[in-house]
């Protein structure tokens, strides 16, 4: 079963300030009550509770509850509420579980006049206002703490997963974003190195600006391109895939890309290279990359290789009442997207999940009906021109599925940053918590025997440590690699 939807951090239905707790006591009660509810809803519905391959899940969930409640007892405002629930998330240590906020940021963010970027093993100033540390300066330490230590205590204790290199690219720079977390101390005096010379600066924190938000996004993504296929120079084709939760216009663009590849295979067989650009991609549905891969390499060969890769994989659907209801909702969602055939299959899935629930089974097990293909029978793909896949640090979920598909073919090379990673738990739904300020995130299924292990990430053959992740820079690096 392909991943159909689900970015782990989406939360629809943002509430207004008037709907939220108002007093310190109300915020404290809301934090404790929502953590307790998130714990119980997760315990009752998450596949990990009964996953024989993860016997420590319930213990970790209990530890997350304890850690969140310890902070909840000290909460006095919305920023503290968010920090306590974020601590609950980080102890669970899974981007597809925990809570997602429906409330806006509790306070106006503040920044020290510059935006940082993580590249490889160090932090640098990405962009700065006049009078700040120069762009390109390495940030060594703050207040006597190495920058690595500070990131662990101030960032990864509340967001992201420090054991995934891609999370350093995407999350670590937030050490220089003040979100009002009352449980940390923001940096005051930092040391920098530029051109071999070290200097110190006292940080001047001020309210964020739109410029900061733009720089922050560009620091790890560059400027993302709209969904579509372009030709930046003759015989080099650039397929931009910044979004796997596409709106109608983006869905039309994805279909047009695949249709173009299928209509003119000889054109692309004569290409110098095809670049697949995943900058900006946070996941969603794997169907879009699956269709593109079939269009580029051939649907039959794509299917054979994917079956050879996943022939022993099973999907275990957790059969709680809420999960079954969510799968039934997916039927309507797929019909709205014009995918009636898949909607019919998901409706059948909902029926067998309901039957399993009524029998008292904790899972409905779905597995491949066909035997795994013999590697020796795999044909040489008709398309054999160089393919470069630009991988951003936040690439997870369906974005990782896309990299799984593309790397099945030997003419693919990854370029960019180390990716993030997934657990084996997928296909999330959301359930509102008591305060209305957050929703619990519940995966519906667990992969058993998936070739890509839980926590496994991709490391590109070409790691791009340039501060500027522009299309022009990537094109320059790719052209140089083609010449080699």
pLDDT surpassing 80 at residue 367: no
The predicted pLDDT at position 10 comes to 38
Residue 283 has a CB neighbour count (10 Å cut-off) of 29
Least confident of 196-200, 238-242, 365-369, 455-459: 365-369
The predicted pLDDT at position 148 comes to 97
Query: Residue 438 is encoded by which pair of tokens?
Result: 């957050």
Mean pLDDT computed over every residue of the chain? 92
Share of the chain residues as helix, strand and coil, in percent rounded to the nearest 5: 40, 20, 40
Q: Which residues pair with 439 in a beta bridge?
A: 100, 432
Q: Give the separation between CA 457 and CA 164, rounded to whole angstroms.
A: 7
**pLDDT of 111-164, one tens digit each?**
999 999 999 999 999 999 999 999 999 999 999 999 999 999 999 999 999 999
Mean predicted confidence (pLDDT) in 204-229: 93
Per cent of the chain over pLDDT 70 is 93
Mean predicted confidence (pLDDT) in 283-298: 95
CA 180 to each of CA 12, 51, 109, 215: distance values in angstroms, whole numbers, following the listed order: 23, 37, 7, 20
The predicted pLDDT at position 95 comes to 87
Closest CA relative to residue 408, chosen from 427, 389, 392: 389
Mean predicted confidence (pLDDT) in 461-474: 96
The yes/no answer on whether domain 227-298+381-422+454-484 falls in CATH 3.40.50.300 is no
**pLDDT of 77-117, one tens digit each?**
999 999 999 999 999 999 899 999 998 888 899 999 999 99
Q: Are strands 273-277 and 236-240 parallel, antiparallel or unpaired?
A: parallel
Fold for the domain defined by 110-207: Pdz3 Domain (2.30.42)
The predicted pLDDT at position 4 comes to 56
The predicted pLDDT at position 7 comes to 34
CA angle, 343 then 346 then 348, to 5°: 115
Where along the chain do the CATH 3.90.226.10 domains lie? 227-298+381-422+454-484
pLDDT surpassing 70 at residue 369: no
The predicted pLDDT at position 8 comes to 35
The predicted pLDDT at position 90 comes to 97
Q: Are strands 273-277 and 387-391 parallel, antiparallel or unpaired?
A: parallel
Q: Give the separation between CA 220 and CA 419, rounded to whole angstroms.
A: 12
Where along the chain do the CATH 2.30.42.10 domains lie? 110-207
pLDDT surpassing 50 at residue 348: yes
Question: Could you tell me the pTM of the whole model?
Answer: 0.89
Measured in degrees and rounded to the nearest 5, phi and psi for residue 261 equal: -65, -40
The predicted pLDDT at position 342 comes to 86
**pLDDT of 35-70, one tens digit each?**
999 999 999 999 999 999 999 999 999 999 999 999
pLDDT surpassing 50 at residue 262: yes
């Amino acid at each position: 079963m392909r991943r159909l939807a689900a970015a782990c951090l989406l939360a629809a239905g943002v509430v207004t300030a008037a709907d939220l707790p108002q007093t310190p006591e109300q915020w404290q009660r809301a934090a404790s009550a929502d953590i307790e509810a998130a714990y119980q809803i997760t315990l009752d519905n998450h596949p990990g509770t009964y996953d024989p391959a993860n016997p420590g899940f319930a213990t970790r969930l209990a530890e997350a509850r304890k850690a969140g409640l310890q902070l909840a007892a000290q909460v006095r405002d919305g920023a503290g509420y968010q920090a306590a629930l974020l601590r609950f998330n980080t102890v669970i240590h899974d981007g597809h579980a925990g809570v997602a906020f429906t409330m806006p940021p509790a306070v106006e963010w503040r920044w020290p006049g510059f935006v940082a970027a993580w590249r490889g093993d160090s932090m640098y100033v990405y962009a700065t206002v006049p009078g700040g540390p120069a762009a390109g300066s390495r940030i060594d330490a703050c207040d006597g703490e190495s920058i690595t230590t500070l990131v662990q205590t101030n960032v990864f204790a509340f967001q992201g997963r420090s054991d995934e290199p891609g999370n350093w690219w995407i999350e670590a720079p937030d050490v220089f974003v003040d979100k009002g977390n009352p449980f940390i101390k923001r940096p005051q005096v930092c040391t920098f190195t530029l051109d071999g010379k070290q200097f110190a600066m006292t940080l001047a924190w001020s309210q964020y600006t739109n410029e900061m938000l733009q720089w922050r996004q560009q620091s790890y993504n560059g400027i993302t391109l709209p969904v579509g296929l372009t030709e930046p120079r003759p015989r080099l084709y650039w397929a931009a895939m910044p979004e796997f939760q596409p709106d109608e216009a983006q869905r039309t663009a994805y279909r047009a890309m695949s249709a173009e590849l299928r209509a003119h295979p000889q054109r692309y067989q004569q290409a110098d290279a095809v670049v697949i650009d995943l900058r900006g991609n946070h996941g969603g549905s794997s169907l879009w990359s699956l269709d593109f891969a079939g269009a580029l390499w051939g649907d039959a060969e794509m299917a054979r290789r994917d079956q050879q890769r996943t022939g022993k994989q099973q999907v275990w659907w957790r059969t709680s009442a809420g999960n079954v209801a969510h799968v039934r909702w997916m039927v309507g969602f797929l019909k709205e997207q014009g995918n009636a055939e898949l909607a019919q299959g998901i409706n059948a899935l909902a029926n067998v999940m309901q039957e399993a629930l009524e029998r008292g089974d904790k899972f409905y097990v779905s597995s491949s009906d066909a035997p795994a293909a013999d590697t020796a029978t795999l044909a040489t793909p008709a398309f054999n021109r160089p393919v470069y896949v630009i991988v951003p640090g936040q690439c997870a979920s369906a974005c990782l599925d896309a990299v799984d598909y593309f790397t099945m073919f030997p003419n693919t090379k990854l370029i960019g940053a180390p990716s993030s990673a997934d657990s084996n738990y997928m296909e999330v739904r959301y359930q509102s918590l008591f305060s209305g300020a957050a929703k619990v995130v519940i995966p519906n299924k667990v992969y058993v025997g998936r070739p890509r292990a839980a926590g496994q990430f991709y490391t590109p053959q070409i790691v791009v440590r340039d501060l500027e992740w522009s299309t022009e820079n990537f094109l320059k690096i790719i052209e140089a690699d083609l010449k080699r």
